Chains A and B, each alone.
Chain A
Amino acid sequence: MPLRVGENDVMDGRQDQHYDRFLRLYTEHEPALRAFVRRLVPKRSDAADVMQEVALVLWRKFDRLTREEEFCKWAFGVARYETLAWLRDKARDRHVFSEGLLLTFADEAMEAESYLAAQREALERCLDKMRDKDRRLMLAAYAEGTMVRDIAQRSGRSIVGFYQWLHRMRLRLLDCTRRVLATEGLL
């Protein structure tokens, strides 16, 4: 049964498989790509914008990829290109890092990706070690559509105080992940 994806588009079985293959590969690498983009752009919402574009480009050009094993490297290349293009558009914004630094970041982030992936996994364990109240608050602060003002109010802090608390928690998690990775010989 063909799958109708648009008014005039019909996917036959082969296209369907092609799409499934893309979806599987993209789903597998999406967290790493998102984290990569996030490390280069100033705000979380910027990362979401760039990732939309990255996903579109990857799908459009997926035909050209001959070997699945190369998807990761190729996708990172696309993410790097799209992020830098997005940042170039913002070049007049004085709140964005210089292109030279961003290129350095992009290269170093790709080099360190296996360590950074391990760190994201270690984060799960560190979150489990946090006080329940802190963990809930932290997750609430990161949940989509959250108003920081509401969360700050609920935690009994001012907005500034809440951002400081969030920063301290991130540092604590960073230390914890480093300890976890050190015990596993990755640091």
Chain B
Amino acid sequence: MKKYERFKQIADYIEGTLSADAVKELDAALQQDRELRRDFLEYLNIDAAMAEIAVLPDSETVGVCKRSVQVRRRLYLMLLALAASVLCVVSLLLFRRNNGGRDTISEVSAKVLYTENLHLEGHVSEVQVGDRLILSHVRLRRGLFCLELSTGVKLELIAPFTGDFAGPTRLHLVSGRLNADVGKHGRGFTVVTQAGEVVDLGTGFGVDVTENGGARVAVFSGQVRVKETGQAKTSNSLTVLDGEALSLQKGKKPGRLSSVNIRAHKMELDAAGTSDLIESVTDNIEDKDFRKFYGIVTNGMAEGTIAYTNRVGVAWMAKPETSFPQQLLGADVVCPFHMDRMRSDLNVTLHLKKPCTVYVLWDKRRRPLPWLRDNFRRTDLRLCSGSWGKSTMPVVRRVAPDAQGRILLEYKVWCKDVPESGPFTLGSPHSREARRRRGGFAMYGVVVQPLRREDAGGLSGKGAKGDWVSPDASAP
């Protein structure tokens, strides 16, 4: 029997569908063949580990489970949505035919979900939460404007913003930024920019139109399809998955965006836009599968700030019974990928706009690697990340829950003053020498503060007046 067929037998065995005779035959084969026994053990090991991972309270797993329970109700709703979509498409086609095939501004009904310091051009009276507005051309001079369209699509428009609706499923983004959460029934919602169209395939995403007419697209959940504006065919389109970001420029091939400015507590485009300190974050990995973005939280370091790009539920927090380190509050946070913790070939580069102090948050359970130990200063600061869900995850395997049942990891904080702008590279989270010590440590965190000029008689006590010094230079 070929190896593949043996594996198929093993699969049937673990699904309980192998006949008694086949079990007997497999038993005999396993008794004779040590290599086959090894294959069997490893295959079942994968099966056992999958069952462990599947019970972790990751948002994506929970989402999938919820969806599976709702399958029947969804079918009914899908039929309704399908009927509505057919009506929409027919209306749109008729509409386009009457307009020479081009999108024309049209009015849509929208419910106001929330606003923040909003100045919406053309609306003299104050916009109130819960109001129903008829919108077509939308221009925001300042503030945030979150609205829900009749299709259930929720849009958060971030000023300065100019856009035109071409029906409830299509928005021309002329300038500015938006976050879209299309919900269950808004699939197909399209954001049109000069550089390309972003067609939603059931997701949450952000689009930012840059000054030169280009666009940046970041997908936070689900997936979108990106295609050339006005192109009906999807053959040249590109599917962008969650955690991936692209930059678009008319007439150019889309390029990977290595970092995206996100909010402190949610994976969405940040209203504050770019950081004053960090231009971008890149790495040296050219793996074609490695296309996700680093999150940058501008001025956002505080209790509850997202720690890792692909572990949204895990946040930075004060060590129990201590307060959050003052030196780190309000700093820019770089959210790396937690799964990189085992990489010994990774270098993360911060492209700094000005002199900064770079803090590296290093898992307390590990010895610092030479690049950290020899080039950074150790501080007395301590911080935790959490909560890490089920205690069976490899990274927290030896960690007992705290009094509140949370599983937290503690980090020591190291820092380095970088007196010049430009690229600053951090070493790998792992080393070949350390490989024998498996699991049990987290990916490092990165926090950036501006380097302060020391005031006369300042706190640091180090460096002559006018030198750049770190805010916590007094730490050992």
A interface residues (Cβ-Cβ under 8 A, vs B): 20, 23-24, 27-28, 30-31, 34-35, 38-39, 42-44, 47, 94-98, 100-101, 104-105, 108-109, 112, 114, 116-121, 123-125, 127-129, 131-133, 135-147, 150-151, 153-154, 163, 166-167, 170-171, 173-174, 177-178, 184-185
Contacts and interface: CB of A to CB of B under 8 A. Distances in A.
Shortest 9 CB-CB distances between A and B: which pairs? A142-B54, A94-B20, A38-B48, A35-B48, A140-B64, A167-B11, A120-B49, A39-B44, A31-B392
B46 interface: yes
Contacts of A101: 27, 30-31
17 contacts: A20-B400, A23-B400, A28-B398, A38-B51, A43-B14, A43-B16, A97-B23, A112-B41, A120-B45, A123-B50, A124-B394, A132-B223, A140-B65, A143-B54, A150-B68, A151-B68, A174-B43
A143 B435 CA distance: 31
Given A44-B51, A109-B41, A97 B27 contact: yes
Interface in B20-68: 20, 23-24, 26-27, 30-31, 37-38, 40-55, 60-61, 63-65, 67-68
Contacts of B397: 27-28, 31
Contact of A185 (B38, B64, B398, B435): B435
Contact of A173 (B26, B44, B46): B46
B11 A170 contact: yes
Contacts of A154: 67-68, 71
Given A147-B68, A163-B11, A142 B53 contact: yes
Given A27-B400, A142-B53, A121 B394 contact: yes
A139 B45 contact: no
**Interface size classification for chain B:** 35 or more
A43 B48 CA distance: 10
A150 B64 CA distance: 11
Nearest to A114: B438
Main secondary structure of the interface of B (DSSP, over half): helix
Contacts of A20: 400
B418 interface: no
Given A38-B48, A124-B53, A178-B42, 12 more contacts: A39-B40, A39-B48, A97-B26, A104-B37, A105-B41, A108-B41, A120-B45, A120-B49, A121-B342, A135-B60, A150-B68, A150-B71
B289 A42 contact: no
Q: Among B46, B342, B392, which residue has the most Cβ atoms of chain A within 10 A?
A: B46
A37 B394 CA distance: 18
Main secondary structure of the interface of A (DSSP, over half): helix
A94 B50 contact: no
B242 interface: yes
B394 A120 contact: yes
Nearest to B24: A94
Contacts of A98: 27, 31
Contacts of B38: 108, 112
A136 B394 contact: no
B9 to A, nearest CB: 11
Contacts of A118: 438
B221 to A, nearest CB: 9
Contact of A167 (B7, B23, B42, B241): B7
Nearest to A108: B37
B439 interface: yes
B438 A121 contact: yes
B98 to A, nearest CB: 37
B116 interface: no
Given A27-B391, A116-B42, A125-B342, A42 B14 contact: yes
B134 interface: no
A185 B434 CA distance: 12
A135 B38 CA distance: 25
A150 B397 CA distance: 33
Contacts of B68: 140, 143, 146-147, 150-151, 154
B95 interface: no
A115 to B, nearest CB: 9
Contacts of A129: 289
Interface string B392-414: 10100110100000000000000
Given A28-B397, A39-B44, A174-B42, A139 B16 contact: no
Contacts of B400: 20, 23-24, 27
Nearest to B15: A163
Interface in B99-158: none
B272 interface: no
B84 interface: no
Given A24-B400, A101-B31, A142 B45 contact: no
Nearest to A144: B55
B87 interface: no
A43 B14 CA distance: 6
Given A119-B45, A139-B54, A139-B61, A104 B31 contact: yes
Contact of A136 (B42, B51, B64, B342): B64
Contact of B310 (A31, A128, A133, A177): A128
B339 interface: yes
Given A27-B400, A34-B52, A140-B65, A177 B46 contact: yes
A52 B241 CA distance: 40
B376 interface: no
A51 to B, nearest CB: 11
Nearest to A148: B15
B92 interface: no
Nearest to B7: A171
Nearest to A153: B71
